Amino acid sequence: MASDTMIRAAEIFARRVHAGQVDKGGVPYTGHLGRVAARARAHADALKLPQQHAEWCQQVGWLHDTIEDADVTADDLLDAGFDPAVVQAVQLLTRPKGKPYLECVAGIIASGDRLAMIVKLSDNEDNLDPARALPSAPPELGLRYRRSAEMLRTALAPTPSITARGRDA
């Protein structure tokens, strides 16, 4: 399928499986998913990722909570036609019950999966956005999201080129 068709398919899939869910502020959860998808696409474009990767980031943004928060499996996503790279990123973004949050973020970084890192950063940014202030969120949640975003920005930062003499180019 064409890539914008798959972005739309990711949106439709996410809206279907998250139908009726609301966030801690009481607003439809799909608003968060759409903002994460848009942020992820903007990050991918800013990082000058190939067009296909930028589109995958947008798809993962829509789908990032489907396995964790809905009755969806990786096989369901593959059966729906999503690329294995998209499904792998969604799996990496799925936090096992009881596993510490920052440990999961470290695992995403260690995987080297830029799609997952970009979407997790976008998720953190949306969760930290004052316009989305979550009234019942404890202060330590904000600290956790800030630390995670810092770790992800560092991991995604371009590394300087090294010349044959070992100096930055």
49 pLDDT more than 90: yes
Decide: helix, strand or coil at residue 168. Answer: strand
| Cβ–Cβ under 8 Å, residues 128 and 139 | no
Classify burial at 126, counting beta carbons within 10 Å of its beta carbon; exposed 0-12, middle 13-18, buried 19 or more: buried
Instruction: Give the pLDDT confidence score for residue 106 in this predicted structure.
Output: 98
As for how many domains the chain has, the answer is 1
CATH of the domain at 130: 1.10.3210.10
Q: Is 73 contained in some domain?
A: yes
Say how far apart CA 139 and CA 147 lie, in whole Å.
13
Structural domain for 8, as ranges: 3-156
**Closest C-alpha among 60, 169, 33 to residue 114:** 60
Q: Is 7 contained in some domain?
A: yes
Query: Could you tell me the pTM of the whole model?
Result: 0.90
pLDDT digits (tens, 9 = 90+) for 52-70: 999 999 999 999 999 999 9
In the chain, the percentage of residues whose pLDDT exceeds 90 is 78
110 pLDDT more than 50: yes
Decide: helix, strand or coil at residue 28. Answer: strand
